[in-house]
A and B are shown apart, each in its own frame.
Chain A
């Protein structure tokens, strides 16, 4: 596709349930990022994938959060046993590489509401 695609665009889930959020990066992009933005807050880095290298998980807030990237393309962010404080928009981004000169492009996000 032309841009980063995320699904679902909106998700309402009950506290304690698991959720999966999907990201399709721009074709050919080897670097993939997940960010989170709570209401009225700034963007918070979660995790980074680059090719076949070990992911940078330094931003994941707890062990309830995990992510994988299959075949170097699609990525899934999983939140287990969701809590109300997990309510946020989850943003995926991709770039053609990790170099500072490679522009990072964002998707429109997946809005998660935990009730």
Chain B
């Protein structure tokens, strides 16, 4: 399974953009990059996913490098409620179970 590497923790000032990096150098061509976040052991919340192209939705933007070996999740205007653990996950390809394998994630602390 492709694995990801994320910083253990990051701080961000409220109202500023939060840029969360993720390395996935062993990703395969048909594997997606997914981002989830988890607040206080609630169920993980889906944020965004992508394969090759950059993606944007109402929550965030996902920037994937051309070689697909790394990506960055961008929260454009972080609020205190964005404080959470953010997981970058490379999803195993179909033909397996398509399950998500969670690492330790990045704890993002948004400060006033």
A: residues with CB less than 8 A from B are 4, 31, 33, 35, 37, 39, 42-43, 45, 48, 50, 56, 89, 91, 93, 95, 97-109
Contact = CB atoms under 8 A, between A and B. Distances in A.
A106 B44 contact: yes
B102 A43 contact: yes
Contacts of A95: 98
Query: In this complex, which of A33, A56, A104, A107 has the most chain B Cβ atoms within 10 angstroms of its Cβ?
Result: A104
Contacts of B100: 33, 43, 45, 93, 104
A48 B99 contact: yes
B46 A109 contact: no
B103 to A, nearest CB: 7
Query: In this complex, which of A89, A99, A108 has the most chain B Cβ atoms within 10 angstroms of its Cβ?
Result: A99
Contacts of B97: 33, 48, 50, 56, 98
Contact of B43 (A45, A48, A91, A102): A91
Nearest to A39: B41
